[in-house]
Amino acid sequence: MQYVSAITGALVECVATCMCRVVSRVLGDLNPRFSTIIDAFVGTFLVVAAFNYTGGYFNPALATSLKYGCLGTSSLEHVIVYWIGACIGSIASLRVYRMPFVQNFVQLQESTDAVYS
């Protein structure tokens, strides 16, 4: 893993956590045939994309159990990246999910499913 600043790490965890949560919620609403597989694929893709920067945990408790106290990272940096970054990303996902483009996508998919059912 390459060294990144705590702010960059927090931003990576924030954005990836937000994306992961929004995709999971949309899939939960739409309940497509392979939603579990799609959700796992998206989550895995995001972990791989973030791996070199933060490890891609998107879960503060998991990150703490696996990474807290690692050499080269202070407690404050850990909290900023894995707790503040991920928590802000989770909260932001609530706002992003309510955005018109996401809601329009969900409604369009639901109406398309109704036509083909």
Please give the pLDDT value at position 64. 94
Q: What is the mean pLDDT of the chain?
A: 91
| Residue 14, both tokens | 């924030």
pLDDT in tens, 69-111: 888 889 999 999 999 999 999 999 999 999 999 999 999 988 8
Domain ranges of the chain: 6-112
Q: Is 55 exposed, middle or buried (0-12, 13-18, 19+ CB in 10 A)?
A: buried
Number of H helices, E strands in the chain: 6, 0
